Chain A
């Protein structure tokens, strides 16, 4: 919201716009009130070096058809020659001349420049070039009765001003007006607020534009006032300047007054040409499905049955309620009698219509947030006041319509306020007198005394409905910066849960293994999972930014593979990445089957590297799983992968990415991969190991080699050996795997070293021999044959 300081000053003497310190203090107070000042823009300072100059004569040059030669007198009696591209000036006009050395707002420096070898001693300026208005079509023509040689701003009557760009929060619809901002500021700074206008006397005969509200839930109040003696013309200079400074283009006196009232009081309004209103009446109803209306912006809108229409007495649509007027009934230069509409529309309907038609207007922005339903009477008076400045014959007729529905908010609303709640929430004790004194200037009147009082809620604060809203007002006016600072002390201690600690440990292990953390997007293109070999259902975003980011991942692999492909294409191979992130598989439940997953990809590495990562994690987290190579997992290398199983839980997969998947993702290296349900691993209860005495008896090593068919996993033999050696086994290591012709095809030799120990005594040769036999027969049961030593 753009707020002009000079405009605020019309409500109270806040600050001289030329006084920088005073302006800074206003800005600080506004921010402290919650009206965050995002920018303080000095206005009306003018461009140094631009002076008024009298046009002496204008000539054309035969060799330069597009430009004029202009001779001017800049007040010193000397004739100066300038070239000028515009042609709207004539001898006797007073125009702004940028003298040599002037630095223009757009950055240009005015220098002695020539055309056809004839120099130009300056530049004549348009209103747009000087930032006076947005008219760049010709030279700005100043009041010809003024003298040449003055700063052009003096001729224009422009005074220094300041524009505050304020970020108005959604709960402060009242501050979408200068009055609202002035009210808060006056309360904060202890100024008395001057009312903006006095009642405008009605005159002439009773005239009315009857109103019928057929959609009371959407329109709580609709008033019409007939104004005759209107002459459509240009607004007075001060109105044009004020609107332009506030960022609105002046159009004509009626439209300008309409806008000025809205900017000043926050009440949107609409002026119809009464002659063009069928039957001289208005009806407020919902649109028929498919009904059409050409809005003021010249766009034909196809309406829905939830759009609110203002129609004339012939039921012809003349406006989209609370959003924008129609083109047909707009006032024109011939208009002499105006039907002035001031109405109150419920915010939600306006919000939906504005969103549906992507049609945000100054009116809809205000109605969406909530307009004061009771500022209308004052706004009508102000409108008449201002229009009378340019229409001396203006008559505001008595007998206007003021139709209300039961959905109009009550004029008198109130809430109880417990002072104990106020003290508790704010943490300071202010006392009832101070609270009353603070609240009164913003229209929150405190009634009663004792621990619970009643606070009336002003009609311009629809956001305020209950006790806590009043508490916030007190806090705001007191100033957050004046609240104390304490630190709560409770019988709690901050800690990470075991699962959170284990998540951190997981990251540490992975980083220690040389693997870096990636964060790919959880949004995939619809085919990405299939390209990764992962068929099956997935959820989608119904309103994605792009269809390539519409699928919710059920695996981290597509994102990680894309990251590897990216790095490979940038000449970085053998990249190791991990991700800890969520996947969102569909589920028949309140929410999807969201789970936290760990994904590890090792480019240029083979499956055993992934198994090694898994084993490191198992050791660090105290977890474990079976490698089920009979089900390698979708998208995985069929002969180099395994599903990780722990009891009935399927934890994930380990191994290598399927070569076809790699090709799909454009990765040319092999990729070892681990993808595992991290949430399950983290939830495993932390086992606290109990100390066991370290045996003091001597240990012996037993090396055994077996021949085993490739179809039998080594792990089965390992398990058999563990069982065979039972409690004598200290450790077991598979230290050599050998394949060769001597063993025959599809077979390999597995060499183990078993360290054996008997805690109660030394192992004898006979003991070791019996363990060897037990191992041999255990191995035999899984199809392994002990090789001769």
Chain B
């Protein structure tokens, strides 16, 4: 693409990425579809989880499959307390030799909404231990600001509950978060389709992290491409600057020289 019209790069903790799409590795129909979808997404950052090795499995080889080609971002999914999340992050740091972590501290199994109290506590502890913390959080400007003040490298507000595909439920909050925070804002969770991703970027969010919307689509590879294009379109629109909304029409064709009978 022509450099003049390409999306601007964005940086997290001093590391520059050309793709604003962060993609998950869960719930694809099979491994080949996952690999093809990740390829089509153009994502550079790919999320993974940390789980106990079971006696039978002995390792599913995901690290070997993806480790060389992508920036693997471990999550702390399934953690309900700050203590569990911190230990999971430390295990992930050891397993992947990365100090980056997608911090999730879940408050409730049914909504998967964050437990803000534990999230803030875990974020503070992990930042103190030298982690690059990317917290999954509510679309709450106050929480986001607190996470930024603690030293998180980005904030990742949800658009809607994880896996719900409900889209951007509160665009006004995202706008306020954009105005209040200077760290990158990555909308994490709730995106259902490409237009949702575009809206988030149009609002000034810096990136999208999603999984289910691609993995659960009828054609995950095509949806990965659609999301990529939606994200690029949204970012272009944000950089271009939309026109103000007006109640009445404004003629687009000049009226000078029109015939008068």
The answer to whether A binds B is: no
